[in-house]
Structure 1
Amino acid sequence: MPKFVIVVGTGNAALCAAIAALETGADVLLLEKADAALAGGNTKYTAGAMRFAYDGASDLIPLLRDPEDARLPNTDFGSYTTEKFGQDLLGFNDGRALSDEQQVLVKTSGATMRWLASHDVKFEPIYSRQSFEKEGRHVFWGGLTLAAENEGVGLFDMELAAVERMGGTVRYDSAVTGLIMDGDAVVGVRVGDEEIRADAVILASGGFEANADMRVTHMGPNWEAAKVRGTPHNTGDGLVMARAAGAMDYGLFAGCHATPMDLHMAEFGGLHLPPGERKNYRKISYFLGVMLNAEGARFVDEGANFRNYTYAQYGAAILEQPGQFAWQVFDSKVFDLLYGEYRFHDAHFVEADTLEELVALMEGVDGSAALATLHAFNAAVDDSTPFDPTALDGKSAKGLTPPKSHWAQKIETGPFRAFPVTGGITFTYGGLKVNDAGSVMTEAGSPIPGLFACGELVGGVFFGGYPGGSGLTSGAVFGRRAGYGAAQG
């Protein structure tokens, strides 16, 4: 008889686990805490970008929904090797070597993308956010090139369609409230008073980012103020259940993906917005200006690297500032380069013709100190180096603490705009230890029979931050592995 596998959750990792298990002939039931409209975990809230290793355009074309796109002949995708992917992850490891989990992510990222494409999960180049036009060509930067068609909603829809084509079943409004144990083995789940027995259970229910108490416990008091970029349903349920079954904690529980967000957004992400607008509360063009805290001081190197190497950390940096907010300041030279989220109908900002007038409008900020900071920044800008947003241009503001290493232009041409921001948490890094089959491990180093995990619940994948687009890829990589492990184990 085919094995019966229960998957807890319906996000990207859960759906990839279901697809893999169905491939092996298993019967699969997905249990979703939310109703159908809010299903999909954090996946629907994302922009759908996925980072993976590739050698060149020939590796990308087979993954595209429209391989005849007229822009492709005039596009420079470059390459993104496994070595470069590993180096990028090391840059966020705070001195740690690549973990076993990171090595799996790097080495299998390309194969996992090809596997998704084989199930009609297709992608499109991220022309609007990851390329600049240069000498008549679209030049991609930062190693991130493709996103799911129709962003995170499209990724969810395509993966769910694959699950349903293959015979998988989804039950909504079915929050798993506990695991059924037979000795040390997991043999099913509880949904309220209902018991559902299974040969294997895959936990893919997300991290604890939507649980303020757990955030404070593991990450500190500043994190109570964090906006939750995604679903309100990722409240750490799978982590709690796995711990009760004997699982070990693993990874950096104080770490998370945290992005600068509009200070006045709602407490949680909004699925009421059209897919293309769900990312619009992000504010990640800070590299084109400066960020000032309540004391009127800069606190990060806004131009340390391409924004997809810094944005997942700078939300946390904002939450460390007085009042857990900051202002992003730009002059009119860069208005046309700001991402569309800055022109979103619900974007909050102030505008003035002079810097003196602008700082007076920046609520909660020491205006005199802010003005002094802006003048000092302008005086430190290197005017001899040309500005080039397609490269690490070396156009810096030196002699400051912190410096601005690239893309430093004087903030001198009015009108000026300032956008209030805070930290928005996307997902947490602490989770569970899993083995090569995706089985959840105990403190003693043995797998818990019948219990598997993937997605945000896998610890050890990210530490001090991550290069953008790695999260969805990680979910797919470890979801696929858990699905095969649960169905074949």
Structure 2
Amino acid sequence: MTVGSRNRCRVIVVGAGNAALCAALAAREAGASVLVLERAPIDERGGNTAFTAGAMRFAYDSVQEIMELVPDLSENDLAVTDFGAYPQHAFYEDLARVTEYRTDPDLADCLVSQSLDTLRWMKSHGVRFMPIYGRQAFKVDGRFRFWGGLILEVSGGGKGLVDTLFAAAERDGIEIAYEARAVDLLMRDGRTAGVRVIRSGRTEEVIPCDAVVLASGGFEANTEWRTRYLGPGWDLAKVRGSRYNFGDGIRMAIDAGAQPWGQWSGAHAVGWDFNAPAFGDLVVGDGFQKHSYPFGILVNARGARFVDEGADFRNYTYAKYGREILRQPGQIAWQIFDSQVTHLLRDEYRIKTVSKVKANTIAELARGMDGVDQDRLIATIHEFNESVRTDMEFDPNTRDGRGTRGLTINKSNWANPIVSPPFEAYAVTCGITFTFGGVQIDTESQVLDTRQRVIPGLFACGEMVGGIFYFNYPGGSGLTSGSVFGRIAGRTAAEFAAGLG
């Protein structure tokens, strides 16, 4: 390829979500000139990050560390809240457990050990954090108790996060090019030397540079790749986020010799409103998700339950239950609740564009649930009600052990007989968030080739990194992983570029 006339940039970052912008900020801090290439137009910028709720998992030992990140906590907040602690060993064990102990131990240790310091660093760039009251802590006996190792979210959610990071990038003099699709890496003498870019779908340009950070997400928006790697039926899944995550960065890296890595047949996939659009809607954001299923039951079109809704806190099950929904007839399931628990449902159940049935009797509810075997559903609810252990107290803040007995699939926690009208049912399908397969990196975010050697000048971070998540993931760890490895990638890319003189 011929290098264009554009002035050489020390570091190019491909992508413009959380991981990419953290990389850009870290590279600029280290003294490099930085160009960010964003495939999307400006009004759709931010990758998958813009569609998230903004929760971030991190290790902490005391409330004092929480106060470092949320200095405006009031005395009353502290008096009525049990923040507990989430030490590094607990985060590491959760990550290992839900990935069935396949997570790369070195990358996992890096993610866990640098999580708190990375959030402090983000705060220094203007990111504001706040406790996730209502979604991660319920008020019981006058006190909030956080559960599931997840306590803070970014103010303004994912949209607030990307807006803050873009503002910080602009303050630091980082150039951002929109509608700029990176399609190839320029390699020279075995190292990265530039990026071939197509502007606005027409103009081709080769931009020389000293280092490239690939941070352009997974391949969840690529229907053909989903079907090829995740399997039959995945072409029917809805995409929760960006329509632009086509796997371009992964393909570019592999073409340059990178080692494909991680679980290419795995993905983060959740229960998503059945009538949501094919791709994410920035106005609705993450409102199409439906994550309060532990307090009710999930049934398929046959009227049968098919998972243990209370197997664990939703933080540890929601990212894998989307796959289970996709396997059901018609790729549809219904979440059913009664009035004993509807006050616990997250805000996403109250959006205007929701697929909902409400009734005062179970029979009426069943008639309103299109396509469901009504007789079997009524029998399922009756069998469930009869099996609930009433000798245990219901407590939404703990794994309360209030389960069922004698069912083919027992519910382990938070079981209540569905007897108190009005009853509500929500239609959900599979919404894919991001894919788990990608390229291999080391703990310095350097991309490795098929001989396990570093590809000089090539770095990666975010959802296109393989080897961290398998089968499942602990809620909130995706954004944290992007931030941790994005910060590392930016710093190491700048250092590499500086070493070239």
Q: Under TM normalisation by the shorter chain, which class is it?
A: over 0.9
Report whether the alignment pairs 1:450 with 2:485. Answer: no
- 1:35-66 alpha-carbon deviations (Å, 9 max, x no partner): 11111101110001000000121001111263
Cα deviation, residue 443, structure 1: 0.7
Cα deviation, residue 196, structure 1: 0.4
Q: Where do residues 336-347 of structure 1 align in structure 2 (5 Å cutoff)?
A: 336-347=343-354
- For residue 181 of structure 2, give the secondary structure of its aligned residue in structure 1: coil
Cα deviation, residue 436, structure 1: 2.6
Q: Where do residues 71-150 of structure 1 align in structure 2 (5 Å cutoff)?
A: 71-96=77-102, 99-150=105-156
In structure 2, what is the Cα distance between the partners aligned to 1:396 and 1:236? 42
Residues 65 and 122 in structure 1, CA contact (< 8 A), matched pair in contact too: no
**Paired letter, 2:304:** A
- 1:409-453 alpha-carbon deviations (Å, 9 max, x no partner): 001112211111001011111000012321111111111122111
- Report the counterpart of residue 260 of structure 2 in structure 1: 249
Report whether the alignment pairs 1:315 with 2:322. Answer: yes
Q: Where do residues 423-438 of structure 1 align in structure 2 (5 Å cutoff)?
A: 423-438=430-445
- For residue 128 of structure 1, give the secondary structure of its aligned residue in structure 2: coil
Cα deviation, residue 120, structure 1: 2.2
- 1:381-413 alpha-carbon deviations (Å, 9 max, x no partner): 011111111111111112212110111000111
- Supply the RMSD in Å over aligned alpha carbons: 1.6
Q: Where do residues 32-431 of structure 1 align in structure 2 (5 Å cutoff)?
A: 32-64=38-70, 66-68=72-74, 70-96=76-102, 99-192=105-198, 193-271=204-282, 273=283, 277-431=284-438
- 1:190-245 alpha-carbon deviations (Å, 9 max, x no partner): 11221100000111000000011000000011211111100100011111111111
Residues 241 and 279 in structure 2, CA contact (< 8 A), matched pair in contact too: yes
Cα deviation, residue 257, structure 1: 0.9
Task: Give the length in aligned residue pairs.
Answer: 485
- Report the counterpart of residue 201 of structure 2 in structure 1: none
**Paired letter, 2:384:** F
Cα deviation, residue 67, structure 1: 3.8
2:17 to 2, 5, 11: 11
Structure 2 segments unaligned to the other structure (5+ residues): 1-6, 199-203, 497-501
Residues 6 and 28 in structure 1, CA contact (< 8 A), matched pair in contact too: yes
**Paired letter, 1:399:** G
- Report the counterpart of residue 3 of structure 2 in structure 1: none
Residues 13 and 35 in structure 2, CA contact (< 8 A), matched pair in contact too: yes
In structure 1, what is the Cα distance between the partners aligned to 2:486 and 2:119? 12
**Paired letter, 2:79:** P
Distance 1:65 1:163, change over 3 A: farther
* More deviation, 259-268/164-173: 164-173
In structure 2, what is the Cα distance between the partners aligned to 1:347 and 1:26? 47
Cα deviation, residue 143, structure 1: 1.2
In structure 1, what is the Cα distance between the partners aligned to 2:113 and 2:9? 29
- Report the counterpart of residue 488 of structure 1 in structure 2: 495
Cα deviation, residue 361, structure 1: 2.0
- Report the counterpart of residue 471 of structure 1 in structure 2: 478
In structure 1, what is the Cα distance between the partners aligned to 2:238 and 2:14? 25
In structure 2, what is the Cα distance between the partners aligned to 1:330 and 1:454? 40
Residues 24 and 487 in structure 1, CA contact (< 8 A), matched pair in contact too: yes
**Paired letter, 1:239:** I
Cα deviation, residue 72, structure 1: 3.2
In structure 2, what is the Cα distance between the partners aligned to 1:128 and 1:292? 25
- 1:116-173 alpha-carbon deviations (Å, 9 max, x no partner): 1222222111113111112222221111111111111111122222222222111111
- For residue 12 of structure 2, give the secondary structure of its aligned residue in structure 1: strand
**Paired letter, 1:294:** A
In structure 2, what is the Cα distance between the partners aligned to 1:319 and 1:440? 33
Distance 1:2 1:240, change over 3 A: closer
**Paired letter, 1:202:** V
In structure 2, what is the Cα distance between the partners aligned to 1:463 and 1:369? 35
**Paired letter, 2:390:** D
- Report the counterpart of residue 27 of structure 1 in structure 2: 33
**Paired letter, 1:118:** S
Distance 1:262 1:97, change over 3 A: closer
Residues 66 and 124 in structure 1, CA contact (< 8 A), matched pair in contact too: no
- For residue 217 of structure 1, give the secondary structure of its aligned residue in structure 2: helix
Residues 8 and 207 in structure 2, CA contact (< 8 A), matched pair in contact too: no
- For residue 127 of structure 2, give the secondary structure of its aligned residue in structure 1: coil
- Report the counterpart of residue 462 of structure 1 in structure 2: 469
Cα deviation, residue 337, structure 1: 1.3
Cα deviation, residue 97, structure 1: 6.2
- For residue 372 of structure 1, give the secondary structure of its aligned residue in structure 2: helix
